[in-house]
Amino acid sequence: MGKTMIQKIFEKHSSQKAVIDEIIDVDIDVRIARDFGGANVVKNLEEFDLPIENPSKTYFTFDCNPGGCDQKYAANQHICRIFARQHGIKVFDINSGIGTHLVIDEGIAKPGSTVVSTDSHANILGAYGAFGQGMGDKDIAHAWAYGKVWFKVPPSLKILLEGRPSKHASPKDIALRLLQQFGANGLLGYSAEIYGEYVDNLSLDGRITISSMATEMGGIIVLFTPQKNDLVADSDASYADVIKVDINGLEPMISRPGHPEDVVSVKDVEGTTVDSGFIGSCTNGRIEDMKSASNVLKNKKVAPGRILKIVPSTDSIWKQCLDNGIIQIFKNSGALVGSAGCAGCAAGQIGQTGKGEVTVSSGNRNFVGKQGSGDIYLASPETVATSLVAGYITTAKSLPVKPKPVEIQTKTSFIEKKKSIVIKPKLEVKGRAWVIKKDNIDTDMIFHNRYLSITDIKEMGQYTFDNLKGFENFAKEAKPGDIIVTGKNFGCGSSRQQAVDCFKSLGISVIIAESFGAIYERNAINNAMPILIAPNITSQIDEMDTLNVDFSTGEIFDQTQVKNYFAKPFSKSQLEIYKRGGLLNNIR
């Protein structure tokens, strides 16, 4: 039987066969730590006295907070710089841009390469026909020290785009159409290959836009066949499913606030007053995106009282914008142009919002609180630019002569604090159940990005779930030994390790979910945080039931109801890592 693209890439980088659902060790060509995760990577390496396997394949990228305007970010960047000097590691510093874009543009990653990063959108490498994976700091430390990490070989889906979109639709609109069909977890655990007439003529910039949104569908990666490479799936490759997506005549699309997958036509929300806009991110910060926005903004002004923020993804693209007169167009329109980097997705750079603020963003996420307290719509750069000129959500073909008057919003914020403790691992636990009947609880709901610079686990517990509606007081009320029972795709979103560590900080004994986000599952296992998967468990356990849980058998005994349920027990690898207290403990 033939091989899929992901199987071919894995087998090229492993001595083992890439059998679906089997775990194999994979050699990593490019190993990246960003500024928010880099300090923790350094901490792990030094704490466990680990080597750097190959400095020439190892990189720091300071793309979350290029300005170093947060004291802890600045301190973390300096820690990374010192470590880099000691070990001969390349630093793409604050003047460089988004790391995953840089490794493509600089030729560091090639089609067929393997890349890991503390960036949950490292799967944009799929646009290039390479494998990219976002990971937590323990995974990255292992890759830096040994040049390889373990992966479960994912099944593959074949996605066929049928038809041609309208001339008004951009690659971002195609990505949003995919989100509309697959939802937040439709690609959960899958590698996907994408084909069709539209794809055949799609530029690298357009492919990056689509691949970068795989994370928002729960996917491991969305792979495009490289345009100049022999890395192609075999004609008899086995796919879990072949799915057709109709894009014929597609018009501009938009995601409504709070959920990237809540996608509708722009027409459905046309007329909604906006306060601000953002163009950039790893999804839409390329030169084609900048040109598209400048075509809309040329000889026009941002509506009075509105703010448009624009951030190219790399310094090279910034310079192209300067040389081509695009920066001048942006400035003439009244837009703010920031230094290359992640911007709106990271709390430390421009793109944040206040409570009540309505923003149209070209980013990849609009989770509640992701870009501040405002309401975030996701759309293409063209739709963002047009909406900011009009003062309300609209498309270029409906641009009014006069903008809509501004509306004023209030801004509020607060932080609650609580001390935390840590418990030692056990194979059997007993505790009361917190039943959270929600699917797709993302990492910003678990541990918000405004706390990303925290590296001390003792400080983390107090912020757990403070961005999850209805559970804002969880950290105050939780007790050591408590058990979380929740729905599907728990921990989707960012690769942040803190979204696992905050539960360890509080002494939560186990998280039982109907399924986990792919990166979150890895992070929990690698840091010895007990997790179990149990289908339909939220419909069986009642709030505050007393549960006895056996990790080795998967047995869940509901002492309150006197009923037994079963989860999938710890795998051999999970049990081994758990018993030794984490991936990096006693690694030698």
| pLDDT band for position 416 (cuts 50, 70, 90) | very low
491-500: burial string, b at 16+ Cβ within 10 Å, e else: bbbbbbbbbb
The pLDDT value given to residue 414: 40
pLDDT digit string, tens, across residues 268-304: 999 999 999 999 999 999 999 999 999 999 999 999 9
pLDDT digit string, tens, across residues 498-529: 999 999 999 999 999 999 999 999 999 999 99
Bridge partners of 133, per DSSP, are: 116
Token pair in block for residue 203: 């530029």
Is the pLDDT confidence value at 69 over 60?
A: yes
92-124: burial string, b at 16+ Cβ within 10 Å, e else: bbbebbbbbbbbbbeebbbbbbbbbbbbbbbbb
Length of the chain: 588
Overall average pLDDT of the 408-419 stretch: 47
Domains of the chain (ranges, CATH numbers): 5-246 (3.30.499.10), 254-398 (3.30.499.10), 428-579 (3.20.19.10)
Comparing C-alpha atoms, which of 417, 461, 416, 380 is closest to residue 168?
380
| pLDDT band for position 66 (cuts 50, 70, 90) | confident
pLDDT digit string, tens, across residues 191-214: 999 999 999 999 999 999 999 999
The pLDDT value given to residue 419: 47
- Chain mean pLDDT for the chain: 93
- Look at 290-294, 403-407, 553-557 and tell me which has the smallest mean pLDDT: 403-407
How far apart are the C-alpha atoms of 571 and 138, rounded to whole Å?
Answer: 19
| pLDDT band for position 587 (cuts 50, 70, 90) | low
Helix runs in 273-353, H state only: 281-284, 287-297, 315-323, 326-333
Distance of CA 126 to the CA centre of its chain: 14
Which of residues 246 and 452 earns the better pLDDT score? 246
DSSP code of residue 442? B
Is the pLDDT confidence value at 235 over 60?
A: yes
Helix (H, G, I), strand (E, B), or coil: what is residue 179? helix
Please, which residues have CB within 8 angstroms of residue 32's CB and are 6 or more apart in sequence?
A: 59, 60, 61, 99, 100, 103, 115, 116, 117, 118, 119, 122, 140
pLDDT digit string, tens, across residues 331-365: 999 999 999 998 877 665 687 888 889 999 999 99
Cβ–Cβ < 8 Å for 489, 440: yes
Token pair in block for residue 23: 């775990």
- Look at 29-33, 56-60, 177-181, 583-587 and tell me which has the smallest mean pLDDT: 583-587
